[in-house]
A and B are shown apart, each in its own frame.
Chain A
Amino acid sequence: METPVYPAHNYLSNGHTLRSWLLTKDHKRIAVLYLISISAFFFLGGLFAVGIRLELTTPQGDLFQPDTYNKFFTLHGVIMVFLFLIPSVPAVLGNFLIPPMIGAKDLAFPRINLLSWYLYIIGGLFTLFAIVAGGVDTGWTFYTPYSATSSSSNVAPVALGVFIAGFSSILTGLNFIVTIHRMRAPGLHWFKLPLFVWAHYATSLIQVLGTPVIAITIVMLFVERAFGFGIFDPQRGGDPVLFQHLFWFYSHPAVYIMILPALGVISELVSTFSRKRIFGYSFVAFSSLAIAVFGFIVWAHHMFVAGISVYAAMVFSFLSFSVAIPSAVKVFNWAATMYRGSISFEAPMLYVYGFFGLFLIGGLTGLFLATLGTDIHLHDTYFVVAHFHYIMVGGAIMGYLGGLHFWWPKIFGRMYSEFWSRIAAILVFVGFNLTFFPQFLLGYLGMPRRYHMYPDEFQVLNVLSSAGASILGLGYLIPVIYFAWSLKYGEVAGNNPWGASGLEWRTQSPPLTENFTEVPTDIPEAYEYTPKVVREAKLV
């Protein structure tokens, strides 16, 4: 096979000025802008996590003042949820890949796409301002009355930041929905679409329907705090629990915004590295929609001990189990895809393996919380912290990193170090388990969340957890190095280094600004691996 040549004309070389980047309409450049900004916020959020785990190595609160620690976990949550996880896969990979995957030249509304990025940045700046001004200490959940009346910290700027970033998310979702409906190449009907696209479509539905509700909740919190309005203030007839209903009506579906795109990535990776069509394609496609729909009717499972009635609790518990089934269906279908596949173990596939273990544990531990009899004991303990980190980090971030490793050659035209990428994947898997598995045990023992000091009997498990965090941190830092190195010195990738199916792999790497010189017309079924396609693969 001849050595590929790095294409002289591509979207990266199409304009070198700052203006050509900051005023771009190219979805691929916007994706790269997001990549840089969310990575910066990820490491900032990670710094706060370092602070947390350092403090928790000893039972006493001896490293930081209590208020400082409270600000650390709040900012860790706010940054990781709103400024990293929610945008991550859709804003970076979705933005870059959806147009080529459907044979389009760009998203439906390129300027709104750019606006989305600016709104994200402005939201981030408000949050940075709040950090510099002294931080916020309400927890990322901003429960009233504490956030409305008691906390003396910078609630308003963070609330505004989240509000503005929320519109970034809404506009991205809106863009994807219209794009997927109206911009598919001729002949590309829904059931030929990659499952990555289905996943993003389902996610976009949630973004568009759910995010406005937290936006209005923040407005209400803001007017309460800034003007003394009293919608949630019991002294004036308000109900603090109403805030929780409004907050979770969005924030539960939000967790599906965070995981569904990553699940879409996993479909692509499992198929490519097994060189086999996804087993049960339509089941996987519909399960994404089912998760989006069911995700909207389970919010009060965050409130089982918050004073809702016994009967309401039973209804929400029952409905919460409904969400587990489509997720399980996906996992079984992916495993079945590997049966009689042709499997290779490059870095993206290692992230898939890591994902399997961690997403399984994360998803299954949700059952403990959906089950009423156990949730009373486990609510607001470290069990919950472990559960959501297994899904958000073990699931969503593994999916994001796997996708980044898979599509990096397409985005930048370069390969990275296979050796170091595998090391990083393994470090992340090991470090992650060491960090978070002890927290399940801590939770059942009764250690509550958001504690900066704790009774002595919890120390051993906390030390294990902090030790694991250092390994996890290393696993996240190593890719920064080899990815940066690859931009200049990496091997030229060529169109399709993995022998993958999908329209995006038919274009050059990096692609032209308009993606295709001619709109593809002979679009095959999804996930067709032909000898011609696999012959393009660089690796065995």
Chain B
Amino acid sequence: MSNGNAHAEGASPAHGHDHAHAHHPALQHHFDTMSQQREAGVLGMWVFLLTEVLFFGGLFFAYAIYRSWYYDAFAAASASIEILPGLINTVVLIGSSLTMALSVRAAQTNQRKATVNWLIATIILGTVFLGIKVYEYADKFAHNHVPGASFQFAHVPAPGEPHVEEPAAGHVTTMGHDEIERTTQIFFSLYFTMTGLHAVHMIVGIVILFIITWMAHKGRFDSEWHAPVEMTGLYWHFVDIVWIFLFPLLYLVERHN
């Protein structure tokens, strides 16, 4: 059974010819042993996760550059994001990594029902995460914090920051856009792209989880072969770790004030 993130399927190969020795029904014919197959799968998943690091990395790089240039704007924008949903989501996602790890453990120890149950718990927690994200996004839409033509950011000076005088008579300023407002658009562009990309990975992960849960329910895994559960676990933990980085970078800029 191959380990691609988008291409899981279940059928064992039909055995139409003799074998000199018995082997696990899930052994694919181009591999010599189950351990070779498993090692190949694990290496493949780690290489894939490495590509994901580079994939998200481009966004983190852009974020780092712009944050170093427009720190105040980033702080103001970050301060405008409700912290509680983000906090809940972080706990939910870490929890889902726990349930995922427990399902892997159950598969390793041949506990079919426990495997299925922990997988279902992971799916539920992942869906909760996405639901909270929907709430957060809707909130941004309502406040016109979505970058684009209708973007508007009302800048509330922090305590201690001097109040910006109204421009002298005769000036016409652009509507509501001083440069902090201008550059907070960059923050929100990155916010939506980074969390959006993360959410897409979550959705893909949940789809895979459904498939793996079905396979587990059908009894496809045993202590000798449960590679798909392990691979999915690796992927899910990775998606979790990305969020661990996203949360402070997006929600917690200068929160110590």
Contacts and interface: CB of A to CB of B under 8 A. Distances in A.
A and B in contact, CB less than 8 Å:
yes
Interface of A: 104-112, 115, 170-171, 174-175, 177-179, 181-183, 208-213, 215-217, 219-220, 223-224, 227-231, 235-239, 242, 246, 249, 514
A236 B182 contact: yes
Contacts of A115: 4, 6-7
Interface stretch (B43-51, B82-90, B92-100, B245-253): B43-51
A228 B147 contact: yes
B195 to A, nearest CB: 12
B108 interface: no
Contact of A231 (B30, B43, B56, B186): B186
Interface string B139-182: 00000000111000000000000000000000000000001001
> Which among A111, A178, A208 has the greatest number of chain B C-beta atoms within 10 A?
A178
B51 A170 contact: yes
A174 B44 contact: yes
B65 A174 contact: no
A237 B59 contact: no
A105 B69 CA distance: 54
Interface in B182-231: 182-183, 185-186, 189-190, 192-193, 197
Nearest to A229: B189
B71 interface: no
Given A182-B39, A219-B193, A231-B186, A111 B147 contact: no
Contact of B51 (A174, A181, A237): A174
Contact of A219 (B57, B73, B185, B197): B197
Given A182-B39, A228-B148, A228-B149, A112 B182 contact: no
B2 A110 contact: yes
Contacts of B54: 209-210, 212-213
A227 B147 contact: yes
Nearest to A109: B2
Contacts, number: 133
Contacts of A249: 58
A236 B58 CA distance: 20
Contacts of A110: 2, 28, 30
B51 A178 contact: no
Secondary structure dominating the interface of B: helix
Interface string B60-73: 01100110011001
B189 A231 contact: yes
B12 interface: no
A213 B57 contact: yes
> Which among B2, B39, B58, B179 has the greatest number of chain A C-beta atoms within 10 A?
B58
Nearest to A106: B30
Given A111-B2, A230-B185, A216 B43 contact: no
> Which among A183, A237, A242 has the greatest number of chain B C-beta atoms within 10 A?
A237
Contacts of B197: 216, 219
A108 B44 contact: yes
Contacts of B183: 236-237
Contacts of A246: 58, 61-62
B30 to A, nearest CB: 4
Given A109-B4, A213-B57, A220 B193 contact: yes
